[in-house]
């Protein structure tokens, strides 16, 4: 660090500490953005840029140089063969240098489960993607117990099964509306018209966010989770700050609007903001701006890419395994198990990151205090030691529920039951309407080392013949 | 041999043969008791085999460990006698044990 840079950093720390409790969230975001811009102008910070190049076969790369953080791995279909080699030859693998710094890769199912279940040794702090987020937003996914537990308990009621039961009818209606509006006479982009549309509606419903503005939720989430520095994605830091500031403003407004409507006698709904305002722990959350912002951002990002890409991935998997679609049509009772298999096969988030809190021997390697440890769920879900014929998509797979896409331990996905319910309803309603769901051409894939996702996937529907 | 009884949230009781050495989670899933998932396979790391031990039996089974607590205490249905059934190994002294299931597994 240069003297100017460390001065800027010290100044920022002092200011952030002092204002955190008093200055509204959106202005805090803007202040952090200005500091970043100043650094960039002074040549003290250079944004990361990734350029796509063909990735060689894993057999042609020396083991020590294998870099599974390359954000083009998924797009080029290379993750699975690379992970297969790591699981065989170096299941606890060290990469000394990458655009995100050095890191360990854990690629076998049992090892990942062991790391995920041990927060005393492997910390989720300070962030859970490979590279640092531009701004320290306080999210409990990146906190260790006991602070994590307190924050999570405060909001998890909104996606708890009891609350979901109340919302199931509304969710089904909204899925039906989307499906009834789909064209059947020409191919269309499934990602835009189904996956994003349904996920956006669901988030708006959960948050009681203005329904006609729901695409904003998608935009904010996509932008925040796809910085080049964090996940090798395509959003520029300026876009990140702008989206975060807009999100902060939007949710502060939503909070006050909801408080006013409740004060005017509007009956309480099942949405997150109502839940926060009626719970003792969170009724004053608005006075803790960064925590407020963090919790909302986490819920939006957590419920966006994940379900969306499982909605697209299920269609692709059934197209690649057409006999499974026939099996499904013959026995729709398989839907719940198929939902687990879709989530396993897709693994919409490829990993979570941890940091060793002390020196530890693990899997025959010596991991030092402070080392970065990446748990590659995308690899664990394809581990033959756990799943027979693991690359195949088998809707009645006996142990599909054992997939690790939700993670294990205290950070296990809070929205897992909501995700399963959304996918179950989607497939129930699809089977009621369509005979064939054909993917036309090749889908295109998102640039990211974190989100295993689809940009575009053209689909042609064939309605069910009546009778 | 002996019997362990799982009581669903709606009161439906399921008697299952006690097999020494197997966990209660394995006994439940192996005998098709609804309401026990066991998604992590018995590692106390998913919280989906939550049971509430009958008051008369808690002294025999013992209370939850710290590892179980980290998972099960996140459930809104967590009770003083809540345990993860994957961490309860069946043994002869547990013949006649009654455990209650929560309404939902998280």
CB contact under 8 A, A153 and B103: no
For A250-293, write each residue's pLDDT tens digit: 999 999 999 999 999 999 988 889 988 988 888 888 988 888 88
Is the pLDDT at B86 greater than 60, yes or no?
A: yes
* Residue of chain A with shortest Cα separation from B42: A402
Range of the domain at B42: 3-100
CB contact under 8 A, B45 and A409: yes
pLDDT score, position A20? 58
Q: What are phi and psi of A121, to 5 degrees?
A: -100, -35
Give the pTM: 0.93
CA distance A167 to chain B (A): 15
**Dihedral of the alpha carbons of A163, B40, A306, A67, in degrees to the nearest 10:** 160
Where does the pLDDT of residue B43 fall: very low under 50, low under 70, confident under 90, or very high at 90 and above? very high
* Residue of chain A with shortest Cα separation from B45: A409
Nearest-5° Cα angle at B103, A171 to B42: 105
Residues of A in contact with B39 (CB under 8 A): 401-402, 406
* Residue of chain B with shortest Cα separation from A151: B74
pLDDT score, position A59? 97
Provide DSSP, A121-134: TEE--S-SSSS--S
pLDDT score, position A254? 94
3-state SS class at A79: helix
Q: Does a structural domain hold residue B12?
A: yes
Mean pLDDT, contiguous 10-residue spans, chain A (467 residues): 67 59 75 80 81 97 98 98 98 97 98 97 96 87 92 85 87 96 98 97 91 94 94 93 93 94 92 87 87 89 94 98 98 98 98 98 98 98 98 97 97 95 98 98 98 98 86
Nearest-5° Cα angle at A23, A19 to A27: 110
pLDDT score, position A13? 61
Of B43, B74, B104, the CB nearest to A152: B74
* CATH at B51: 3.10.20.30
CB contact under 8 A, B71 and A417: no
Pairing of strands A454-463, A434-445: antiparallel
Interface of A with B (CB under 8 A): 113, 116-117, 119, 145, 149, 152-153, 156-157, 160-162, 399, 401-402, 406, 408-410, 412, 416-417
Residues of A in contact with B73 (CB under 8 A): 149
Q: Does a structural domain hold residue B69?
A: yes
- Domain map (residue ranges) of chain A: 41-461
Q: Does a structural domain hold residue B26?
A: yes
Cis peptide before B50 (omega within 30 of 0): no
Residues of A in contact with B105 (CB under 8 A): 161
Picking from A154, A164, A426, A156, the residue whose alpha carbon sits closest to that of residue A302 is A156
Which residues neighbour A175 within 8 Å (Cβ) at sequence distance 6 or greater? Answer: A198, A422, A425, A426, A429
CA distance A80 to chain B (A): 23
CATH of domain A41-461: 1.10.630.10
For chain B, counts of helices (H) and of strands (E) = 3, 5
Q: Does a structural domain hold residue B105?
A: no
Q: Does a structural domain hold residue B106?
A: no
CB contact under 8 A, A162 and B70: no
3-state SS class at A367: strand
Question: A with B: how many residue pairs have Cβ under 8 Å apart?
Answer: 52
Give Cα A47 distance to the centre of its chain: 23
Task: Decide if A200 contacts A311 (C-beta within 8 A).
Answer: no
Of A157, A160, A408, the CB nearest to B43: A408
pLDDT score, position A36? 78
Of A149, A157, A408, the CB nearest to B76: A157
For A316-334, write each residue's pLDDT tens digit: 999 999 999 999 999 999 9
How far apart, in whole angstroms, are the C-alpha atoms of residue A239 and residue A366?
Answer: 39
Q: What are phi and psi of A372, to 5 degrees?
A: -85, 130
Is the pLDDT at B64 greater than 90, yes or no?
A: yes
Interface of B with A (CB under 8 A): 37, 39-41, 43-47, 70-71, 73-74, 76, 103-106
How many domains does chain B divide into?
A: 1
Which residues neighbour B27 within 8 Å (Cβ) at sequence distance 6 or greater? Answer: B4, B16, B17, B18, B19, B33, B90
Q: In DSSP terms, which residues pair with A459 in a beta bridge?
A: A188, A439
Of B37, B40, B76, the CB nearest to A113: B40
For B49-63, write each residue's pLDDT tens digit: 999 999 999 999 999
pLDDT score, position B1? 78
Q: Does a structural domain hold residue B45?
A: yes
How far apart, in whole angstroms, are the C-alpha atoms of residue A180 and residue A327?
Answer: 24
Task: Decide if A412 contacts B45 (C-beta within 8 A).
Answer: yes
ipTM topping 0.90? yes
């Amino acid at each position: 660090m240069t003297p100017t840079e460390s001065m800027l950093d010290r100044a920022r720390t002092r200011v952030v500490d002092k204002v955190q409790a008093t200055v509204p969230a959106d202005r805090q975001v803007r202040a952090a953005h200005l500091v970043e811009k100043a650094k960039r102008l002074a040549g003290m910070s250079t944004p990361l840029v990734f350029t796509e190049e063909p990735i060689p076969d894993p057999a042609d790369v020396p083991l020590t140089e294998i870099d599974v953080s390359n954000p083009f791995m998924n797009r080029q279909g290379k993750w699975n063969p690379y992970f297969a080699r790591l699981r065989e030859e170096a299941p606890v693998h060290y990469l000394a240098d990458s655009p995100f710094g050095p890191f360990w890769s854990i690629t076998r199912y049992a090892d990942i489960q062991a790391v995920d279940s041990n927060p005393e040794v492997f910390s989720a702090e300070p962030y859970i993607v490979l590279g640092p987020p531009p701004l320290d937003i306080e999210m409990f996914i990146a906190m260790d117990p006991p602070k994590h537990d307190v924050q999570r308990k405060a909001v998890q009621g909104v996606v708890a099964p009891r609350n979901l039961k109340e919302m199931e009818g509304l969710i089904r209606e909204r899925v039906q509306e989307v499906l009834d509006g789909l064209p059947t006479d020409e191919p269309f982009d499934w990602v835009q018209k189904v996956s994003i549309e349904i996920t956006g509606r669901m988030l708006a419903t959960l948050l009681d966010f203005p329904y006609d503005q729901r695409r904003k939720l998608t935009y904010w989430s996509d932008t925040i989770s796809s910085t080049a520095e964090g996940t090798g994605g395509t959003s520029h830091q300026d876009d990140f700050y702008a989206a975060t500031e807009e999100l902060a403003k939007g949710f502060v407004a939503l909070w006050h609007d909801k408080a006013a409507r409740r004060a005017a006698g509007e009956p309480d709904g099942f949405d997150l903001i109502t839940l926060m305002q009626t719970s003792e722990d969170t009724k004053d959350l608005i006075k803790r701006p960064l925590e407020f912002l963090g919790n909302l951002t986490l819920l939006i990002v957590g419920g966006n890419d994940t379900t969306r890409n499982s909605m697209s991935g299920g269609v692709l998997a059934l197209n690649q395994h057409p006999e499974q679609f026939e099996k499904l049509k013959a026995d729709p009772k398989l839907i719940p198990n198929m939902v687990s298999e879709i989530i396993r096969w897709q693994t919409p988030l490829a990993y979570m990151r941890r940091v060793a809190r002390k020196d530890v021997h693990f899997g025959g390697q010596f991991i030092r205090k402070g080392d970065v440890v990446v748990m590659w769920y995308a690899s664990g879900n394809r581990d033959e030691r756990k799943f027979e014929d693991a690359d195949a998509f088998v809707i009645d797979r006996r142990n599909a529920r054992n997939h690790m896409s939700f993670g294990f331990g205290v950070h296990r996905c809070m929205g897992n039951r909501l995700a399963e319910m959304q996918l179950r309803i989607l497939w129930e309603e699809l089977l009621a309407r369509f005979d064939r769901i054909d993917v036309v051409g090749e889908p295109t894939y998102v640039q990211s080392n974190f989100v295993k996702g689809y940009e575009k996937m053209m689909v042609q529907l064939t309605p069910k013949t009546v009778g | 041999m002996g019997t362990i009884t799982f009581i669903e949230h709606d009161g439906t009781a399921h008697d299952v043969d006690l097999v020494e050495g197997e966990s209660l989670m394995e006994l439940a899933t192996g005998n098709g008791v609804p309401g026990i998932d066991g998604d992590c396979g018995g590692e106390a790391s998913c919280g989906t085999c939550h049971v509430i031990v009958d008051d008369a039996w808690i002294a025999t089974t013992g209370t939850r460990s710290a590892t179980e607590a980290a998972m099960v205490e996140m459930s809104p249905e967590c009770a003083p006698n809540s345990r993860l059934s994957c961490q309860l190994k069946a043994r002869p002294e547990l013949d006649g044990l009654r455990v209650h299931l929560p309404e939902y597994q998280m």
